[in-house]
Copies of this chain bind each other. A is one copy, B any other.
Amino acid sequence: MAVVAVDIGGTTVKGALFDVDGTVLDRATVATFPTGMSAVADGPGGPALAAVTALVTQLAASATASGRTLTGIGLCSPGLVDAERGRVVVAVNLGWTDLPIAELLAARFDVPVALEHDARAAARAERAARLAADKPVDEFVFIPIGTGVSATVVTGGTIVHGATGGAGEFGHVPVVPDGEVCTCGQRGCVEVYASAGNVLRRYREAGGALAGSTRELVDLVGTDPIAARVWQEAVEALATGVVMLTAVLDPGAVIIGGGLGEAGDRLLVPLRAAVAERMRWRALPNIEQSLVGAGAGLAGAAILVNTQSTSTP
């Protein structure tokens, strides 16, 4: 028996074939849009769904070739996701509107299919990883920082989806009044200061020329004053947001994931200091790096199959 997990992104669709015990048996990645194609769909799901289908076909064949039976598919997608009904309500960068992707794939591959929002799937993987590491956590906030910034709230071991499935938009919490304009139309959002792309953009706009990537910028924080200032502004924006989350939700842990989470102590140490500086009035949550790292979406999608309601063939 084996399960296919798929992490659908705006640039690539990543997939893996998992054994029942969680071992990765095979991996594959395809471009979400073949060169020259756009997010404009020419059928239900368009090229992005075709990419997902091709990837699942490939990994299902890999399962068969190794003598295993495919027992389910777990998907995670960006956008507004209705996990219960297996539909992507809107995913602008995939060209999807109200796509019943779980039902479509269940019919095509004749196995149950589960769907979740990508950040929530990652939070689920984080919780599972902590349980496996004997550090269980039931009250936490998972903040993946990459192209965007979001926050999945887990309380009592359950992921908060919100009234319309739109919870988690931590990136669009305004923290700098009259600050820079964000893509959402507000000013001073967490994301406009702290996402990986915006950190690099702000560095360049401030005249920084030494770093070619956010990763390089982080390496320059000790020596390049422009990198240091932009990085500190990102930390301050995140800290204001974490103070807010802590005051209202009292999480036991605030877990930083995504690409920028891999900055590790270079992010965590100043972030802890900035939060502590503001919240002298109460105990602070542990601010920690994600255990699951960049593969969180895929791992979460694999877990979904066994823990969430699925669309059946």
Interface of A is mostly: loop
| CB-based closest 6 A-B pairs | A162-B250, A163-B252, A184-B281, A167-B250, A139-B163, A169-B247
A166-B282 contact in complex given A156-B158, A160-B155, A249-B160, C-beta closer than 8 Å = yes
A-B contact pairs, 18 of them (CB 8 A): A153-B249, A155-B160, A160-B250, A162-B249, A162-B250, A162-B251, A163-B250, A163-B252, A163-B253, A163-B285, A166-B282, A169-B247, A170-B248, A172-B247, A177-B177, A184-B280, A184-B281, A186-B278
A281 near B172 with CB under 8 A, answer yes
Asked whether any CB of chain B lies closer than 8 Å to the CB of A261, the reply is: no
* Interface positions of A (Cβ within 8 A of B): 139-140, 151, 153, 155-156, 158, 160-170, 172-174, 176-177, 184-186, 240, 243-245, 247-253, 278-283, 285
B177 near A176 with CB under 8 A, answer yes
Contacts A153-B248, A163-B251, A186-B279 aside, 5 further interface pairs with beta carbons under 8 A come to: A139-B162, A166-B250, A170-B248, A172-B281, A173-B244
